[in-house]
Amino acid sequence: MSLLSYNLILKNINRFINLNQEEENFYVSLLTERKIKRKEFLIKQGQISKHDYFIIKGCLKVYTLDNKGSEHISMFAIEDWWTGDMASFISQQPGHYFIQALEDSIVLQISKSNFDLLFKQIPKFERFYRILYQRSLVSFVQRANQGISESAEERYLNFVKKHPNIINRVSQKNIAAYLGVTPEFLSLLRKKIVSV
């Protein structure tokens, strides 16, 4: 595991809790680095999710396929973000999500058993995840409401404003699958927006 990876994840964690040198060493010992090429999968629908992931470099999408076979992206994960199929990881039951790399990527992963061990050995991590989940909840509640209350055009404009960096890295087809519209309709929206 490279020094770069090590620094990035510890800096992420140190936003909320302070670890001493010994704790840092122990924590890092629970992680493994994994390289994944564009189009490869971290997990697939139906599998039990064995790991939780932190992105060091690259970009991935988390998505499901509905019964009609169409793709719904629930998040894009880029550098310094956490991702995974939480429901499957926690329950160790088959999951509903695919996680696929959109660019060659590097992630750090922690296994379920090491995740459990972590809380036993360094209870401070309860606090870290309490705060991390709390913040995630705030944005998911917001997104759940937006999904229901806003038009596709509003959702697109909000996404552009909030994640300009992602817009430039990800195809419109994927943006459409995130917004919950067809690529054709997104194309139409963009044309309309530009012409205004």
Torsion, CA 103, CA 104, CA 106, CA 107, rounded to 10: 50
d(CA 112, CA 127): 18
With respect to a copy of itself, which residue has the nearer C-beta, 7 or 139? 139
With respect to a copy of itself, which residue has the nearer C-beta, 4 or 90? 90
The pattern of x and - marking residues 82 through 121 that bind a copy of itself according to CB under 8 A reads: ----xx--x----------------------------x--
Among residues 153, 160, 154, 158, which one has the least CA distance to residue 186?
A: 153
The yes or no reply on residue 180 touching a copy of itself (CB under 8 A) is yes
The yes or no reply on residue 142 touching a copy of itself (CB under 8 A) is yes
Of DNA, a copy of itself, none, which one does residue 141 interact with (CB within 5 to 8 Å by kind)? a copy of itself
Among 29, 134, 165, 171, binds a copy of itself (CB under 8 A): 134
- Residue for token pair 């909840």: 137
The yes or no reply on residue 193 touching a copy of itself (CB under 8 A) is no
Q: What's the CA angle centered on 110, arms 106 and 113, to 5 degrees?
A: 160
Residue 154, C-beta contacts closer than 8 angstroms, at least 6 positions apart: 146
The pattern of x and - marking residues 46 through 65 that bind a copy of itself according to CB under 8 A reads: ------------------x-
The yes or no reply on residue 129 touching a copy of itself (CB under 8 A) is yes
Q: Which three-class secondary structure state does DSSP give residue 21?
A: helix
**Helix-helix angle 124-149:152-162, to 10 degrees:** 140
The size of the interface with a copy of itself (CB under 8 A), counted in residues, is: 31
Residues at the contact surface with DNA, assessed by CB under 7 A: 38-39, 68, 70, 151-153, 171-173, 180-188, 190-191
d(CA 98, CA 83): 11
Of a copy of itself, DNA, none, which one does residue 133 interact with (CB within 5 to 8 Å by kind)? a copy of itself
